[in-house]
Homo-oligomer: A and B are copies of this chain.
Amino acid sequence: MPNIETCLSPLLFSARQTKDNYVVVVIDVLRATTAFCAALDRGFGSIIPVTGIEEALNYKEKGYQVAAEREGDKLDFADFGNSPTSFLSTNNIGDELVFTTTNGTRAIDTGKVADELITASFSNLTAVCNWIFNSNRNVVILCAGWKNTFSLEDTLCAGAIAEKLIKGGHFLPVDDATLVSKALWGKSSENLRENVRQSSHYQRLRSKGLDNDLEYCFRIDTSESVPVLVDGKLVNDKA
């Protein structure tokens, strides 16, 4: 039976047990991995995740469309920030989208040593789980968190995935982090928005007036997209 393990911060990835035949599932609910689905759903063919602002700027100067966010704000030179709702309301769609964010794209950079890497959010919860069921690999969930610290919303999404994978005895949880995430999700799922309201990053985005994004990011199964990293680009491998 394949293992499932959870890293509650990118800094914990180096301490994982699972190192063979595994898929990394990167979660950054607010907002990068939710935005990836929205961008692919609106028609982008692929997303190029980059960690540095300079690299994103270089792409912009070459004519690429660029999404760039730091500290919750869109950078001036970019076409988009990391607001999922901004993608849903645009018609200005190209083929490739370069993407850099405070936490999500860095987590991808950390996890890319895996055999495969996908990204998850509440928006593609069921699609991601179906993809994993078909992959027959061990699973390492990698929560992006906020500047390498633990974040509640990513942990809850990790727990939602763990619950689906463990149910029916398909995957074996091998660490306390997976059991705790699953238990937290079990207690929070019925009133998700209410339960995340106290979290640091929810409050941070709320103070910026981003209520539309907050509403969207906690909606479950709005997308069937599964962003999969192939040759450095996230492409849509629908379940």
Which A residues form the contact surface with B (CB < 8 A)?
8-9, 11-12, 14-17, 147-152, 155, 174-177, 179-180, 183-184, 187, 198-201
Q: Are A12 and B9 in contact (CB under 8 A)?
A: yes
- Chain B CB count within 10 A is highest, among A8, A150, A175, for A150
10 A-B residue pairs with Cβ-Cβ distance under 8 Å, sorted by A, are: A9-B15, A11-B12, A15-B147, A17-B149, A150-B175, A150-B177, A174-B200, A175-B200, A179-B198, A180-B184
Q: A11-B12, A149-B177 are in contact. List 4 more A-B contacts (CB 8 A).
A: A9-B9, A12-B150, A149-B175, A174-B200
Q: Are A176 and B148 in contact (CB under 8 A)?
A: no
A198 to B187, CA, bound (A): 18
Chain B contacts of A16 at CB under 8 A?
149
- Chain B CB count within 10 A is highest, among A14, A16, A152, A155, for A152
User: For residue A201, which residue of chain B has the nearest CB?
Assistant: B176
Chain B contacts of A151 at CB under 8 A?
176
Q: Are A180 and B200 in contact (CB under 8 A)?
A: no
A148 to B13, CA, bound (A): 10
A32 to B4, CA, bound (A): 28
Q: Are B200 and A176 in contact (CB under 8 A)?
A: yes
Known: A9-B12, A14-B11, A15-B11. A176 touches B147 (CB 8 A): no
User: For residue A9, which residue of chain B has the nearest CB?
Assistant: B12
A146 to chain B, nearest CB (A): 8
A191 to chain B, nearest CB (A): 14
A12 to B145, CA, bound (A): 11
Q: Are B11 and A11 in contact (CB under 8 A)?
A: yes
Chain B contacts of A199 at CB under 8 A?
176, 179
Chain B contacts of A14 at CB under 8 A?
11, 148
A201 to B175, CA, bound (A): 9
A14 to B151, CA, bound (A): 16
A160 to chain B, nearest CB (A): 15
A147 to B201, CA, bound (A): 28
A175 to chain B, nearest CB (A): 6
Chain B contacts of A11 at CB under 8 A?
9, 11-12, 14-15
